[in-house]
Amino acid sequence: MSIELLDLMARDGFEQIVALRDRRSGLRAFLAVHDTSAGPAFGGIRRWSYYDEHSALRDCMRLARGMTYKCALADLPAGGAKLVLLERSDLDLQSAYEFIGRTVEHFGGRFYTGPDVGTNAEQLGWVAQHTRFVTDPGAGGPGLLAEATSAGVVAGIGAALRHVDGNEDWPARTIVVQGLGEVGGRVAQSLRELGARVMASEIDAELARSFTAAHDLEALDPSAEFDQPCDVFVPCALGGILHDLSLTRLRCRIVAGAANNVLATPTHGDRLHERGVLYVPDFALNSGALIRGARFHIDGVREPVASIAQRIGVVVEQLLQRSTHEGLAPVRVAERSAEAWLARKHG
């Protein structure tokens, strides 16, 4: 098992993978550091009910590598990492996150962590009691990260529409947003304020009712989200949703959202490209929080949200232009760009 893991690390360029267990809290977790050749690794803490440890480790590694790719496309002096915490019924949450804080501190600034699925300001506060290398949920931190991510996603959607149709023309657009969490909700609200018709799906029925009513959105049954004809499908929940089955149902012209690892495999990006559906790679689009956090921790700068959105819009625009010029799916162009950036950093 260890030899297979080391081979996998070598193939995908990983520097370090740590299995974590804490007897007191019941914590079981994995921490993957993908690449620090350009600078410290950044990655949030994801707490999720995984099917098994293998699934958790695989997700951890995919997410960590994706963070490095985000740094590459955003040209940040940083790399990628991720910590995944296996949800358990007997988990002492506060004790577990305090243990994570002590673990992060031991890295001495080689790894910075922050929010992700299952980890919010309260949990980050527990982590921050034991390490300097975490996004401070208070006033002393880089600011609202979800705001930066959502603004970048909206800017990227605008760039995709201009690439396909020559203009954004928001009032003429029908957009389906999947997931109304902290980022997805902001994306949906922003798109509606721009004048688009926004249909939103959310598995939390009460959240779906209250949010759609408050922001003039149309509620969409999650079971029908792939079947709804629209201009843009915006995935803002979990990854891996575009697979063999969902691709046969998808009825949009553009896929662009905040979720990480939307494609089950890169091959599904090729298939979307062959069908004439423009898929904007997630790691080009959803890096707003990373940009804001990395700039703050490395440079001491709170980069304005408008600046971050403009930066991401330019990255997406250039990526799509290259995709057209080279005749390749955008995800392949983005991967090649990230790998070329890494090769330069490795010397």
Quick check: helix, strand or coil at residue 251?
coil
Cβ atoms of 318 and 311 closer than 8 Å: no
195: left (phi over 0), alpha (psi -120 to 50) or beta: left
When computed from its CA atoms, the radius of gyration of the chain, rounded to whole angstroms, is 19
The C-alpha atoms of residue 32 and residue 83 are separated, in whole angstroms, by 6
Q: By C-alpha distance, which of 305, 324, 347 is closest to 155?
A: 305
Amino acid at 116: D
Cβ atoms of 296 and 142 closer than 8 Å: yes
The Cβ-side half-sphere exposure at 297, using a 13 Å CA radius, reads 25
Going by their DSSP bridges, the two strands 218-219 and 197-201 should be labelled as parallel
Alpha-carbon distances of 10 from 35, 76, 82, 338, rounded to whole Å: 12, 23, 17, 17
- Length of the chain (residues): 347
The Cβ-side half-sphere exposure at 16, using a 13 Å CA radius, reads 15
Cβ atoms of 217 and 208 closer than 8 Å: no
Is 345 known to be catalytic?
no
Quick check: helix, strand or coil at residue 68?
helix
Helix (H) or strand (E) segment spanning residue 97: helix 93-106
Helix (H) or strand (E) segment spanning residue 282: helix 282-285
Question: Among the options 28, 82, 163, 268, which is catalytic?
Answer: 82
User: What residues act catalytically?
Assistant: 82
